[in-house]
Amino acid sequence: MQSFTFPRRDSARIFAAQQRFSFAESVKEFLAPRRYRTAWISDAHLGTRGCNAAGLLDFLRANDFETLYIVGDLIDIWSLRRGIYWPQQHNDVIQKILRKARKGTHVVYIPGNHDELVTDFCGAYGNIEIKQRAIHVTASGERILIIHGHELDAVVQNVKWLAFAGDLGYQFLLSLNPLINFVRRRFGLGYWSLSAYAKRRVKDAVSFIGKFEAAVAHYADRYDVDAVLCGHIHSAAIREFGKVTYYNCGDWVESCTALVEGDEGILSMISYESFSASPQTKVPVASSGLNDETKMTNVELMSKLE
């Protein structure tokens, strides 16, 4: 797990801090989950072959939260309509989220466009809430509007057939990644994503992302908030648009990123190197005697081994 920091113009509202690696006094303490006040994840797309369920599951095991926001597209119903793909790890992710809710984590699920059917079930179910949008107040008093972001995507809202076609194209590019990286590994090269490269390089895609970010920040003005947080475009970012801060917590298909809030209200962007992308960074556990819940896949330990 890598962490990134971002400067803010107002020191009273600092939102990023560097996570630091430190040795605990015992193995048990070292492997204990790190606890955060809040975490935001989005766009896991469970039910697709591109989902990095192993990375997301490890992130959930290695960290505990008072509140966990799932910012849309947890389950890809679009893909499941085309054909059922649901391996055990995808089921494990759902079970892990439910287990956290049973143990006291407040889970807020904000459906996206790929799981929009869930909006029919808005309401509270024990420690799980399903909402179309939410406002989160950080420990430092910053008000953050939380939406998935598809509400401001003109293609999704007005030309749905084109959105479905774009999703098929993206899934096709993702399907080429394993073959490309199989060849690259043979030549001793690291992980490389064709779909991520295309998204960065195609002029129209870059233009769309910039316009989307500005539109989301402008949309937040009507809610009298300090910031807006979304997902949807699979592009993690923290930017300033006038008086509004724009957060995007990314995805768990390629970038594998999340936002977390510490006890002081400081927000950090953290990025996880997937097992499939870097197989050599797996932590050996065969002789550790640890079970699935405590095995040595701690996020900070992974970053030290890279």
Using one digit for the tens of pLDDT, what is the confidence trace for 44-79? 999 998 899 999 999 999 999 999 999 999 999 988
Q: Which amino acid is at 83?
A: G
Distance CA 81, CA 74 (A): 15
Is 95's pLDDT higher than 90? Answer: yes
- Alpha-carbon distance of 77 to 72, in angstroms, equals 12
- Residues 6 or more apart from 137 whose CB is under 8 A from it? 143, 144
Greater model confidence, 252 or 305: 252
Q: What is the gyration radius of the CA atoms in the chain, in angstroms? A: 19
Average of per-residue pLDDT values in the chain: 75
Lowest mean pLDDT among 9-13, 119-123, 266-270: 9-13
Check residue 273 and give its pLDDT: 62
Joined together, the tokens standing for residue 143 give 């008000």
If residue 81 lies in a helix (H) or strand (E), which one and from where to where?
helix 77-82
- The CA–CA distances, whole Å, from 89 to 93, 121, 285 equal 6, 25, 18
Yes or no: say if 55 and 256 are a contact pair by the CB < 8 Å rule: yes
- What is the arithmetic mean of pLDDT over 250-270? 92
pLDDT score of 237 more than 70: yes
Buried b (16+ CB within 10 A) or exposed e, 151-185: bbbeebeeeeeebeeebeebbebbeebeeebeeee
**Which token pair is 267?**
């927000």
pLDDT computed for residue 55 by the predictor: 93
* pTM higher than the cut 0.85: no
Say what the pLDDT of residue 271 is.
86
